[in-house]
Amino acid sequence: MAKEIPLGVRGEAAETVAFENTLTSHHPELPPVYSTPDMIRLMETAAFHALQPYCEGDQITVGTSIQIVHRAASGVGARVKAEAVLESFDGRFYTLRVTARDDVQEIGRGTVGRAVVSIGKFLEKMKSSGR
């Protein structure tokens, strides 16, 4: 099991929106704005950074749930920063409050769920189930 993780621990992740992070890169008829999946990936990365210092040995955290709203558009060149704050836990399952902001405003918010797993046990379970 991971070391005890105190409520309120924080993690961050940031990136500058590039063309490959836009809707246009996936569907040419859509506008060149930051995609929701890319925003969620950045939020998940921030959550990973919040919890990883408390993992031991071959432990990591993996995503288990997301509840996100994406409320504002960000264009190519915008700097987006995601922050995650540990809000609660139940055994090895953790819920983090996440937000994403660009240079101007908050663009998204919600919660991300993560669980602590042993990489070795996780890969063994995947192999034994034929995945």
Catalytic positions, written as ranges: 36, 44, 70
Between vectors from CA 67 to CA 61 and to CA 71, what angle results, nearest 5°?
A: 125
| Rounded distance between C-alpha atoms, residue 51 and residue 7, angstroms | 10
Cα–Cα separations (whole angstroms), residue 4 to 15, 95, 118 = 30, 14, 16
DSSP-derived 3-state class of residue 104:
coil
